[in-house]
Amino acid sequence: MKSRRKPKLAVWKFSSCDGCQLSLLDCEDELLAVAGRVDIAYFPEATRAALRGPYDISLVEGSITTPHDAERIHQVRRASKFLITIGACATAGGIQALRNFKDVKEFTSVVYASPQYIETLNKSTPIADHIRVDFELRGCPINKYQLVEVISAFLNRRKPNISPHSVCVECKQRGIVCGLVAHGPPCLGPVTHAGCGALCPSYHRGCYGCYGPKETPNTAALSGKWIELGMKDEELLWLFRSFNAFAEPFRKESETHEK
């Protein structure tokens, strides 16, 4: 940044599990260095202090699920030069978007005896459905090294080095035997956004899609292959309808397996 003033970083929470903002505190080796480069101006999970905006970089965690939050996100956008959404809740609506396929009133009455006290929207939606977003970092949870890369890129006014290819490419890079070819466990690797380092396949389980859809995913071809290998529609529905259920390619694919 041009001036000698340290850039201001803010961290905002909407509906979420806190895991993605925890990723910043989980950068044990980098945290104090990051704090040396920026003023942590607003980050309630970590500090009582709150500096006024505008903020140079805002990290937004969580999805929009209440009328109040649908208003608040506009204030955050107005106060932020660059706004980066982090994690599956902020980029796709998160696991709580499973309500989008059901009647939310029924959901409220399952959990709460007096649903009239609960204020909630019918749908859990990603941040980009409400405002302009400068960068979306995927994952449930995000990869903390990618987070440091994205913050560093925006501080230095360059493009973040985050590949949009599939988990398959990461598997090949690591030399992991392909489960799909070896008739291993059901795997969403071919259609899932990279970033985890092919974690599940390296632990002998199929990818369950927690980084959401990759760029141009061919979900129909993958489903066809799994059906050929004996998977049922119901299982494919569950597989596509989880942590990124409301991301469009996964949503549409899951709907084709619904009775």
Partner 1 sequence: MKSKTIKVDYLARVEGEGALTVRVRDSRVAEVKFRIFEPPRFFEAFLRGRPYSEAPDITARICGICPIAYQMSSVHAMENAFGVKIDGQIRALRRLIYCGEWIESHALHIYLLHAPDFLGYQDAIQMAKDYGEIVQRGLQLKKVGNDLMTLLGGREIHPINIRVGGFYRVPTKRDFALLVDRLKWARDAALDTVRWVSRFAFPEFEYDYEFVALRHSDEYPFNEGRLVSNKGLDIATNEYENCFVEEQVSHSNALHSVLKERGPYLVGPLARFNLNFDKLSPVAQQATRDGGLTQSCTNPFKSIIVRAVETVYACDEALRIIDQYERPEQPSVAVQPRASLGYGCTEAPRGILYHRYRLDDRGIILEAKIVPPTSQNQKIIESDLLQFVSRNVNLPQDRLTWQCEQAVRNYDPCISCATHFLKLEIDRA
Per CB under 8 A, residues contacting partner 1 are 13-20, 22-23, 25-26, 28-29, 31-32, 35, 40, 44-49, 65-66, 69, 94-96, 98-99, 102, 104, 106-108, 110-114, 117-118, 120, 140-141, 196, 199-200, 202-205, 208, 210, 238, 242-243
| Shortest Cβ 172–partner 1 spacing (Å) | 19
Decide: 63 and 90 in contact? Cβ < 8 Å. Answer: yes
Pairing of the two strands 135-137 and 8-13: unpaired
Classified as helix, coil or strand, 81 is: strand
The residue (of 117 and 181) whose beta carbon lies closer to partner 1 is 117
Decide: 239 and 208 in contact? Cβ < 8 Å. Answer: yes
| Shortest Cβ 254–partner 1 spacing (Å) | 13
- The DSSP letter of residue 250 is H
The residue (of 17 and 134) whose beta carbon lies closer to partner 1 is 17
The residue (of 45 and 255) whose beta carbon lies closer to partner 1 is 45
| Shortest Cβ 159–partner 1 spacing (Å) | 26
Give the burial string for 140-152 (b: 16+ CB within 10 Å, else e).
bbbbbebbbebbe
The residue (of 25 and 221) whose beta carbon lies closer to partner 1 is 25
Token pair, residue 141, equals 């949870």
| Shortest Cβ 168–partner 1 spacing (Å) | 17
Q: Rounded to whole angstroms, how far apart are CA atoms 14 and 178?
A: 37
